[in-house]
Structures are given as C-alpha cells and as structure tokens.
Structure 1
Amino acid sequence: MAHLQFVDELVREYLLFRGFTSTVKAFESDLKSDKDKGFRVDKIVDQVLHFINVSDLNGLKEYWTHLDNLVFAKLEVHVQPGVRKIEYSLYKLYLVIAAQSTGGVRNEKVAEFFAKMLPELQGQSEWRDWYMLPYITKPEENPSFSLYFTRGWQDSVIVSLHNLLATVFQCMPQPTLTSYESDAALVKRLQEEISSLKGKSQPANDKVSPSGHQSRLAQYSERLSGPLPLIDDFSAIPAEHLDCGLREAKGLRGLLRQMGGSPVMNRKAGRSQSQN
C-alpha cells in the first residue's frame, strides 16, 4: 500500500487549498502517531521487533491488540487459529530474546511475562514446558527449548508475520479515493492501446477493433465520473487486463496456502451493501 503516502499528500494539498489549516495540523499530528505506519509491512514488523528487543511486553500486547482490532478480527473464522499461532510465536520470541540476555533485568522480564500472561496462557498445552524457562540455566541447550534459540526459527517467525500482514493488506477493501490512481492508469493504458491500433488493419475476428476499445473506454470513464461508488464490474475492461489480474490472484492464493489458510476478508457482503 505504498500509494497511501501519495493519497495522504493529496488530502493535505486539498485541505490547504480549502484553507482548513486547523484540520491540516490535526491530520499531520495523526500521521505522526499513526500506529498503522501507512500500512507499510516493513515498518510494522520493525515496530513489533522493537517491543520484543527492549522487552516491552505492555507495548507488544497493546500494539498487537491494535492490529487485531483493525485487521485480524475481521478475517474469516477458519484463519483465526493461524493468526493466534503467529501471535504466540511472537511471545515465545519475546521470551527467547529476554532469556538470551546476561543482565538480571532481562531475566526478570521472563518472570514478569509469566506473571502477566498466566491468565491468558494457563491451560494451553503448548505453553506447559515454557513455565520452566525461568529456572533453566542454559535453555538454549535444553531439548525443550533448543529449537527456539536457533536463528532459523526466529527468522521464520518474522517471515510469517511479514507474509501475514502483506497478504491481509492486499485483501483489505480500500476506500474509493485510493483506487483513483490505478483507475487513471488503466484509462491511460486503454487510450494508448487505442492510439496504437488506429490506422492498422486487423482481421475481423482477430482482435477487438479500436471502436470496441473506445466503447469500453467510454463505459469505464462513465463509471469513474459517475456519482455512484465504483463496483466490481469488469465488463468494460479488456480481457488481457483480466488475465493479468487472474495471474496475480493465483500468486496471492499460493502465498495464502503457505500460511495454512486464506485470510481473505468477507468482501462479498461489503459489495452487496454498497450496491444496495
């Protein structure tokens, strides 16, 4: 969602044009404290790792709760166990980083973690062995914990979090304003296509005629300029653009399968509501 930064600039420019200076100040203040980091996956992952590296359990829990309420809670039910697995893996990474420190302060953080998280984790079989962690001198050599102290496991947790966020953000329904740039680019491509086809003779049933492209371009332009919100109607878009989109969708589905689920939001209900 890198284009969101461009949209932010458009909003700021419009507010200044209208003379809404107090609104601009409030808008810029919100941007500075933006927990979503403009939906930039790398920035969000960095923020999560910061809380882990400094042993800030409260910060980690509050930030994850924010992401949960904003995004994860809206995912389909069958995906929720996978999200919880990544959340608990982050907590285990938190304990590993704290246990690796030679300072007494960090070791106290391990005990503090279990004191605060006991009501939430109590009774879960996967955490049974972890309650011994504060009392083990060299947990990295213990068969129950040695895997979690390897670089491979730690990197896999970070990659899983990155893939989860990237996939979810791609599937999130976006406001109409953020789609205008891509819509304008599509119209421009269609116009260039029409120009390249002008003056060229084509077999009757080989390719769509320039007039056919013009008709589709006119239909799509009406959708962009009309008062109604854009809907998922691809009748005005050439087949080659749909083929490209299908290839991208297949690649996304492959990523979802790697995550053990399909964290796709229930956008059908959203579409039916917008059409009504």
Structure 2
Amino acid sequence: MPRVLAKPDTLNELNENFQQHRLKQPVFLNSVPKCGTHLLRNIFRMFVPVDQQYHEQFIQIPVLNQHLKAFDPAQPKLSWGHLLFSDTSAMALHNVKHIVVVRDPFDWVLARARFFLSDNFQGNMENLKSGRVTVEEVLNMMIFGIYQKAPTLSEIFTHNATAWLGTGIQLVRYEDVIKHLKALDKPEAEVYFKELLSGLNLSEWPSDWRARVETGSDREQSGTYRDNLQNTAFEIPNELPDIQKQLVEYAAPGLRRLLGYY
C-alpha cells in the first residue's frame, strides 16, 4: 500500500485533561479517503479513553483479518480506516456502530490532487510531480483514475460510501462538521455535535464538550490537513473549474444528489 507521511500528534496526552466515560460498544469511523478522516478521528478521540482507542492500524481491507479485535464487543474500541463494502467487512462490522464520512465530490477532487502532489504521499505516482502534466490534467486523473495506479472517483465513492447506504450506518458530511466548527458558540453546534457523537452512548453530555472539540479539531494536530502538506507540486485552485464539475457529474451521475449535496 502507498505510504502516508504525517507528523505524530499529542492528543493522547491532551486526552488526560478530560474526564472520560467507557465505551460500551465498538465504534468504527469509516470514510472515503480525503474526506476529513483525521479531523473526525481526532474529535472523537477527545471523548473516548485512550486505552479504548485502536491505534494499531488504520484499518483497510488488506489488513482487516489481522485487526478484527478492533471490533470485539467484549472489549469495545474506537477505530478508524477506509473499509470497502464487502461481505467480509460487513460481517466484521456486525454489531459495531458504523459512521461513514463523505465530502462533496467537487471538493474531493481538489483534496485528492493536493494530497497526491505533496511530499506527504509516497506511492507509484511520483511522476505527477515532475511538472510534465498540467494541473487540469491532474484533476481529470482524480476523476477518471490512472490506469493500473489509481481508481476512479466513481469507484472510490461506490465502494467506500454509497454501497454502505441503507445498512444502518450514520452518514456524516465533512462540510457539516466544518460549518459547525466555525460556529461552536452557537446552540446549533451543540445540537450537531451531540448527534455526531451519539454513537459513543455517553452516559452524560460533558459540559466541556466545546473544549474537547476544539482540542481535537486543532489543525496543528492533523498531519494531513491541507496547510500541513509539504511541497505541493502545483497550485491547486480553491474551487473546481466548471468543466471539471461537469466531468464529475458525467463520471458519477447522481452521486452528489445521493449524498445530499443538492
């Protein structure tokens, strides 16, 4: 599998600043890659004892069988990963609180390109950083994939997100998290984060929830946050160009509507 280089965080130490309640059921944070996985993980970590957090592996299909203990109801853990929909993953997550994180496919194309072109990602696509392709060509590769190197947008969203819909998962949109992080002092934010974290079955809602969320969402604690990526080879636009938006709709018709983006 490709390697991701990210600086370690100090959240396990900061977790000690908060009184924690024991998990009673395994919880798995599943996501489409580049949809705010680390952000969600870090927020959840501030509400769960460190010894109930599964740090051994970022769980994916190739290593699933070696890490089934993360889902053991007798020893509940908070775990995370990119777990494709399949018979083995569905059985592994039986009786596990399953949260699936998605992102607007328009913004996902930009985030994926930004990550692949950074020094934090080491895989078989170093040639993209050579300067011999344009940023527009890279964006199209993020949509349509790269032959024998990277799957298409449609394939990734199909297997990591849409195939899980209707199976009892809790769907989380990255943009909703960001919206409420920017307005933590609003009553709506408390309502949102109570619902977001409801799968933890906390015995009581902590009065210091804002401090926990602020600690977990600290950008300095996320090695894959866009501003922490190193030496991005291109200047990636902040908004997907119109033609690439049309290509997303062509490549994955109905996807944005299905995920609730219009």
More helix by share: 1
Both proteins in one fold, TM over 0.5: no
Q: TM-score range by the shorter chain?
A: under 0.3
Higher relative contact order, chain-length normalized (CA < 8 Å, sep 6+)? 2
Q: Which has the larger radius of gyration?
A: 1
